[in-house]
């Protein structure tokens, strides 16, 4: 019975490879086979990626031209009248009438609004009464002066005739003092008249300012007051109307970046567009480039004033304009597309990094060594460029010296570039 169990256990162990060295060997062989298959698959993928099935590279070209290059500085700004006046009120009070409205054309001295003058008229009457009282006071004092003078003269005459017996020296001195006091009262009364006259002029001036007149000939842009509204002129005069003197001539105020301000000069021509007339291009001329700077969103700019002809009154104050100031104009220049200056030829497929041509090198590529720090680029270096031209289907490197650019085309000052030559601007990959 025990021998039968022993035979059965040995058969089961052989079947399951339990306790057998050959079972562990076969397990190891399976891992070796799978690893080999994986390496072969990776190698095949690399060969397919770098083999003859790669895409074919074609080049997109453009033609070098000869023509006129206009270099401009782009900027934005707003349109404003050449002379804009804000009309206010120096007095506080209630607006009685408003005699001008939006877009009304007004003349110099035309009435725009009137304030209620009831209180001012009462003050004028009061000042006139005070003046009349002061004048009457002067006349009264003048009579007193005359009386004191006559009394003094009588005492002196009596003293002379009586030999000083009827008029004593004390009486004469008292009469002289009374005359001096009368003269002083006359001076004070005359001063009161001058003061009353000044007060009357002040009140009359305020009364005249209760009527708001137009200081210029122009058009009403804004009206900030309505009849019955109270005007409070405590610290500063409130603005009631905004007038523009002449809308046929306007000015465009733009902000020029500090990088471009050295190119912008007086009398340079400019063109601009506004959203209201997207199909029209308006002309302007620079009249002033201001030295004072402004900082807008961290950018230093300089306000520049351009003169605009608005004879048809199509432009309106406050419109936002996008302007281009012509800073240079080059005739008969060799023009190169800017895309050609940005083009870099692609690396060839069989070019690999040294030491990375093996399978392991491709699976685990070494990092490239950092390039040495280049020397500081000078202005002359920035004018040097490389252009690639096609000759018999091959790329040829052409060094050039470039000049001004309008953002699309660049002037070629010297180099092996001629009008009509095809230069490469981009690549096009097509599968075989």
Taking residue 262's Cβ as centre, other Cβ atoms within 10 Å add up to 9
SS (H, E, C) 396-424: EEEEEEEEEECCCEEEEEEECCCCCCEEE
Task: Report, at the CATH architecture level, how domain 56-66+334-430 is classified.
Answer: Beta Barrel (2.40)
- Say how far apart CA 3 and CA 194 lie, in whole Å: 154
Q: What is the pLDDT of residue 16?
A: 45
Its pTM stands at 0.61
Q: Which two tokens stand for residue 133?
A: 């009282």
- Say how far apart CA 164 and CA 166 lie, in whole Å: 6
- Say how far apart CA 38 and CA 47 lie, in whole Å: 14
- Say how far apart CA 299 and CA 264 lie, in whole Å: 17
Q: What is the pLDDT of residue 24?
A: 57
Residue entry with tokens 């000939």:
217
Segment 233-242 shows an average pLDDT of 84
Q: Rounded to the nearest 10 degrees, what angle do helices 118-162 and 169-209 cross at?
A: 160
CB 305 within 8 A of CB 286: yes
Residue entry with tokens 């030491």:
355
CB 108 within 8 A of CB 215: yes
- Say how far apart CA 125 and CA 109 lie, in whole Å: 27
Segment 181-210 shows an average pLDDT of 91
Phi-psi region at 74: left, alpha or beta (left = phi > 0; alpha = psi -120 to 50): beta
Question: What residues does 399 pair with on adjacent strands?
Answer: 386
Average pLDDT over all residues of the chain: 82
CB 326 within 8 A of CB 269: yes
Strand boundaries in 127-238, DSSP class E: 211-213, 218-223, 230-231
Question: What residues does 98 pair with on adjacent strands?
Answer: 113
Q: What is the pLDDT of residue 375?
A: 52
Residue entry with tokens 């002067």:
138
Taking alpha carbons only, the member of 391, 323, 431 closest to residue 57 is 431
- Higher-pLDDT residue of 247 and 171 is 247
Q: What is the pLDDT of residue 353?
A: 41
**Residue 211: partners with Cβ closer than 8 Å, 6 or more residues away:** 111, 113, 114, 115
What pLDDT band is residue 395 in, cutting at 50, 70 and 90? confident
User: Measured in whole angstroms, how far is the alpha carbon of residue 388 from the centre of its chain?
Assistant: 41
CB 409 within 8 A of CB 335: yes
Weakest-pLDDT range from 167-171, 184-188, 372-376, 389-393: 372-376
CB 300 within 8 A of CB 290: no
Taking residue 342's Cβ as centre, other Cβ atoms within 10 Å add up to 10
Share of the chain above pLDDT 70, in %: 79
pLDDT of 373 higher than 60: no
CB 118 within 8 A of CB 99: no
List pLDDT tens digits, range 62-95: 889 999 998 889 999 999 999 999 999 989 999 9
CATH code for 72-82+248-329?
Answer: 2.40.30.170
Q: What is the pLDDT of residue 160?
A: 72
pLDDT of 174 higher than 90: no
- Say how far apart CA 82 and CA 72 lie, in whole Å: 25
pLDDT of 186 higher than 80: yes
Task: Say which DSSP state 236 is in.
Answer: S
Domain ranges (residues) in the chain? 2-50, 56-66+334-430, 72-82+248-329, 85-110+220-245, 117-209
- Say how far apart CA 340 and CA 424 lie, in whole Å: 6
Segment 297-309 shows an average pLDDT of 93
pLDDT of 191 higher than 80: yes
**Residue 158: partners with Cβ closer than 8 Å, 6 or more residues away:** 166, 167
Q: What is the pLDDT of residue 2?
A: 44
List pLDDT tens digits, range 3-53: 444 444 455 455 445 454 455 566 677 777 777 777 777 666 655 555 444
- Say how far apart CA 244 and CA 223 lie, in whole Å: 12
What pLDDT band is residue 372 in, cutting at 50, 70 and 90? very low
C-alpha dihedral, 45 to 48 to 51 to 52, nearest 10°: 180
What pLDDT band is residue 216 in, cutting at 50, 70 and 90? very high
- Higher-pLDDT residue of 247 and 5 is 247
pLDDT of 288 higher than 60: yes
Weakest-pLDDT range from 34-48, 298-312, 398-412: 34-48
- Say how far apart CA 175 and CA 169 lie, in whole Å: 10
Q: Which two tokens stand for residue 37?
A: 């298959």
């Amino acid at each position: 019975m025990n021998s039968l169990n022993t035979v059965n256990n040995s058969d089961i162990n052989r079947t399951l490879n339990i306790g057998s060295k050959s079972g562990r060997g076969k397990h190891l062989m399976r891992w070796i086979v799978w690893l080999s298959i994986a390496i072969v698959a990776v190698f095949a993928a690399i060969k397919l990626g770098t083999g003859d099935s790669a895409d074919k590279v074609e080049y997109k070209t453009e033609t070098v031209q000869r023509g006129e290059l206009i270099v401009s500085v782009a900027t934005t700004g707003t349109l404003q009248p050449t002379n804009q006046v804000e009309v206010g009120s120096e007095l506080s009070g209630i607006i009685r009438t408003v005699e001008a409205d939006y877009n009304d054309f007004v003349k110099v001295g035309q009435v725009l609004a009137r304030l209620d003058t009831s209180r001012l008229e009462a003050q004028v009457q009061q000042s006139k009464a005070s003046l009349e009282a002061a004048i009457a006071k002067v006349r009264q004092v003048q009579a007193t002066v005359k009386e004191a003078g006559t009394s003094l003269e009588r005492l002196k005459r009596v003293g002379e005739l009586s030999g000083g017996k009827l008029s004593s020296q004390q009486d004469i001195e008292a009469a002289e003092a009374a005359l001096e006091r009368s003269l002083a009262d006359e001076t004070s009364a005359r001063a009161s008249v001058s003061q009353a006259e000044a007060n009357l002029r002040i009140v009359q001036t305020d009364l005249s300012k209760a009527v708001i007149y137009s200081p210029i000939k122009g058009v009403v842009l804004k009206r900030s007051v309505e009849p019955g509204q109270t005007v409070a002129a405590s610290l500063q005069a409130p603005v009631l109307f905004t007038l523009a003197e002449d809308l046929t001539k306007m000015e465009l105020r733009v902000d020029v970046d500090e990088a471009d301000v050295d190119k912008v000069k007086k009398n340079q021509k400019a063109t601009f567009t506004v959203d209201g007339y997207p199909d029209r291009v308006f002309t302007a001329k620079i009249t002033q480039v201001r030295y004072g700077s402004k900082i807008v969103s961290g950018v230093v700019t300089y306000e520049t004033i351009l003169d605009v002809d608005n004879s048809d009154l199509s432009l309106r104050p406050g419109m936002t304009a996008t302007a281009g100031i012509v800073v240079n104009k080059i005739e008969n220049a060799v023009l190169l597309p800017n895309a050609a200056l940005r083009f870099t030829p692609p690396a060839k497929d069989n070019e690999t990094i040294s030491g990375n041509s093996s399978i392991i090198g491709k699976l685990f590529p070494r990092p490239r060594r950092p390039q040495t720090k280049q020397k500081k680029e000078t202005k002359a270096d920035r004018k040097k460029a490389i252009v690639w031209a096609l000759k018999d289907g091959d790329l040829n490197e052409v060094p050039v010296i470039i000049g001004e650019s309008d953002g699309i085309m660049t002037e070629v000052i010297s180099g092996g570039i001629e009008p009509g030559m095809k230069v490469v601007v981009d690549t096009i990959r097509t599968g075989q």
